[in-house]
Structure 1
């Protein structure tokens, strides 16, 4: 039986998957890059300031090894002298420590950026599983780490050997120099050797950075089904969306029915359609549709109109024209202005009729030919 291709993780991770992995503390990181930059810049700093640091340390050692007569006579002064020497030594190397601290904070952000996530340090029972630990030890990641360690050892050892071999004469000459001069020359050789060895770490970093980015992307790859599920989750499950739409329709219908009480007239089909209209006589706009409905909704509009004593008129052609061409809370079409004006004039006359006076005849407004529809919404 063939494996379902939709379950194969062959697709690049989506933006949402990348964001979630970042929230979980999973971003590409290269310890080799951070270490290489810290070591190279640190050794370069020592090359520029190493002479001063070595001079300061030399003077500190010379001073510390010179015992004053007063110290011999009064040993209670020794703690303060030792403390002063310690502070002097710390201040001598403080610039190097500060640079190292700054680089330690900056270099991790070179790939993956800064990240503060409590999930990354949270307890996970899977970390205590010996099988998971064995899998990590024998997995691709462990093999890559072993390869990097071997290459690093070979490079460092090789560079160290070349540096020592190239400086053999200078190292032998140190024995013929005065102590102070030998100390300075030996320190210079040591710092340059350290710098060249640190440069070799850039080779490891150049290999490790692309691998870490590739490995991180491979871990986050998704199957087609994963992408479909994510899209459904983002857009909402169909059944949930249907319920939301139903609820929205119910709320809209409720608001629409509440507006029927403010209508001037309700025009019906008489059974299938009902449209409630209102007109602001003080305004300059056209009549507005407050509510409209078909079938059961039309019946509810008529019931509310009867309850609230809103005039109901049976005008099939005009009711269908208003229903199919107008939207709720919007003005009617210009082509129906005359017909609706006749209806509203009749309604206003009815409201001013006194008892005993004959009612005016209901108008039969003419509906333009291009506004005539049957009950299926088809032009007739």
Structure 2
């Protein structure tokens, strides 16, 4: 029996359930989402190489202009604090203009890659100081974990795969590379620039292809780590719904408040129809509020007794009508007008009450 109990506890703690929406939202607020860094890197590199192709001439001309200005004008300036400051400011402005296209596209590409994977997310939670992050024991566990081994194998495979592609491109252009000794510096630089961009784009496309599988793995690993045990799901549901004891107390308090409000309306009733002891229905007729009489209080047993006591204390007439009291209690709620099928019976009672009032 004890062994069976232990087995049940073990299975209750085993993480076999998918993460609930609440847990996903809580983890997302902490910055924990499924993403592949390889996708970010591949998209960033791809757009950067495209920008190099499109704006390469602009960047080259900017660099040549800066070097020409340096060796034809700056070189003759006296070295003073003002001249050094001016050279640095102008150089920074020129470098900023040259690098502005590639930096702008890099920022946009990085943001787009993240948005494509997990949408917009801003949180400072990962930046908070946490002693667990510098715990050497936890660090050692991460280093020698299965995940670390998988990351090592992934990195090795990427190096081999991308290295093979770049070597293949160099091998294709080996003859042109050997003939560079017969060309001028500008042609040689142009050749190396074209070859470098070609290798970069080919490697980036290969990395983008591999990143699809990496994202699938990251997604699988994320879902695996997000799994919950049956007990976790129950605890979360309990936290969302609230403690049953507290909920029952709240409901009891609400019921008491509703009863007090209902009892405060009883003195305004025209008549209280009783069973005589088990049911009590307080009815009022006000032409300005409703076209027919309506119920302002009802109850059974102890509540019915309180209604009768309040009615007696405020000289509200009580009329015994067992079938009518029972029928009204079953089909009508507080604030509702009397159904049409009870018009005749209620009208007779109200007429009787009004006659008694006139006699009194």
Structure 2 residue 138 is matched with structure 1 residue 132: yes
Shift of 1:283: 7.0
Q: CA deviation at 1:71?
A: 5.0
Between the aligned partners of 2:145 and 2:279, the Cα distance in structure 1 is: 72
Compared CA separation, residues 72 and 111, structure 1 to 2 (3 A): closer
| 1:352 pairs with 2:354 | no
Alpha-carbon separation, structure 2, partners of 1:133 and 1:248: 53
Deviation at 1:83, TM superposition (A): 4.8
Q: In the aligned structure 2, how far is the partner of 1:215 from the partner of 1:87?
A: 46
Residues 258-285 of structure 1, C-alpha deviation per residue, up to 9 Å, x if partnerless?
Answer: 1101101122333333221111256772
Match of residue 336 from structure 1: 342
1:204/1:293 CA distance change after superposition, 3 Å: same
- State which of 259, 264, 272 in structure 2 corresponds to 1:258: 264
Runs of 4+ in 1 over 6 A off after TM superposition: none
TM superposition score normalised by structure 1: 0.83
Equivalences for residues 49-68 of structure 1 within 5 A: 49-65=55-71, 67=72
Aligned position for 2:41: 35
Q: Is the 8 A contact 1:47 1:192 kept in 2?
A: no
Stretch deviating more after TM superposition (151-160 or 212-221): 151-160
Which residue of the other structure, out of 81, 88, 92, is the alignment partner of 2:98? 92
Report Cα offsets for 1:17-65 as digits up to 9, x if no partner: 1111111211112111100111122112212332342343244334534
Q: Which has the larger radius of gyration?
A: 1
Contact 1:259 1:290 in 2 (8 A): yes
Structure 1 match to 2:318: 312
Aligned-partner Cα distance in 1 for 2:111–2:170? 33
Q: 1:360: which partner in 2?
A: none
Q: Secondary structure at the match of 2:15?
A: coil
Matches within 5 A, 1:1-380: 1=3, 2=7, 4-65=10-71, 67=72, 71-72=75-76, 74=78, 79=84, 80=86, 83-281=89-287, 285-353=291-359
Structure 1 residue 111 displacement after superposition: 0.9
Q: Which runs of 5+ in 2 are unaligned?
A: none
Q: Could you tell me how far 1:307 is from its partner in structure 2?
A: 1.5
- Aligned-partner Cα distance in 1 for 2:47–2:79: 43
How far did residue 218 of structure 1 move?
0.8
User: Does the 8 Å contact 2:51/2:101 carry over to 1?
Assistant: no
- Match of 1:116, SS state, is coil
Q: Is the 8 A contact 1:37 1:107 kept in 2?
A: yes
- Alignment CA distance shift 1:237-1:85 (3 Å): closer
Shift of 1:215: 1.0
Q: Describe the shift of the 1:347–1:159 C-alpha distance in structure 2 as closer, same or farther (beyond 3 A).
A: same
CA RMSD of aligned residues (A): 2.6
CA-CA distance at 1:116 after TM superposition: 1.3
Compared with structure 1, are the counterparts of its residues 309 and 97 closer, same or farther at alpha carbon in structure 2 (3 Å cutoff)?
same
Alignment partners' CA distance in 2, 1:192 and 1:325: 82
3-state SS of paired residue (1:26): coil
| Number of aligned residues | 352
Contact in 1 for aligned 2:77/2:83 (Cα 8 Å)? no
Measured in 2, the distance between the counterparts of 1:284 and 1:20 equals 50
Kindly tell me: are residues 75 and 293 of structure 1, through their superposed partners in 2, closer, same or farther at Cα, counting changes over 3 Å? closer
Residues 234-243 or 21-30, more deviating? 234-243
CA–CA distance in structure 2, aligned partners of residues 254 and 103 of structure 1: 64
Shift of 1:247: 2.0
